[in-house]
Structure 1
Amino acid sequence: MFSYIAMVMMGLERLMVTLKSKIRSLKMKKPYDKIEKSESMRIEIRSKKAQKLIQKTLKIADSPKTKAIVF
């Protein structure tokens, strides 16, 4: 019985060593190559940010808590 338990433990140790080495090798590899943003991508990002800012501003301006300033 003891030898069976020892064999199972040795098998588990080998499995753990194998898994650890595979995890280490995965961490070393880059998952993807970084691409540079083109000018059109930058314009798209800026326009999306501007649209979000406009929506946020309009939401605040249309809220009932906002007081109108009369000149």
Structure 2
Amino acid sequence: MEMMGLERLVVNLKSKLRSLRIKKLYDKIEKSESMRVEIKSRKAQKLIAETLKFADSPRNKSYAF
């Protein structure tokens, strides 16, 4: 009989913990147009840096004669 009470207690605790995690502590901020442009700019800069790093590596040198 003790197991039934213990199991019920565990189930109740799990459900309470799940409900606490789901609650939002803040309102989601919608991205403005300037924020979107900034994000795209950062992604573009990162892609350019990766491309230049790859192009400058000695293993990838190809010479056109």
CA distance in 1, matches of 2:52, 2:12: 57
TM-score w.r.t. the length of structure 1 is 0.61
Farther-moved stretch of structure 1 (40-49 vs 60-69): 60-69
Change (3 A) 1:16 1:48: same
Counterpart pick for 2:8 among 1, 11, 14: 14
Percent of paired sites with the same residue = 69
Q: For 1:36-51, what aligned pairs fall within 5 Å after superposition?
A: 36-51=30-45
Q: Which has the larger radius of gyration?
A: 1
1:52-71 Cα shifts (integer Å, max 9, x gaps) = 1111111121111221346x
Structure 1: 5+ residue runs without aligned partners?
1-5
Offset at residue 15 of structure 1 (A): 1.7
Backbone CA RMSD of aligned residues: 2.6
CA distance in 1, matches of 2:54, 2:8: 61
Residue in structure 2 matched with residue 3 of structure 1 by the alignment: none
Structure 2: 5+ residue runs without aligned partners?
none
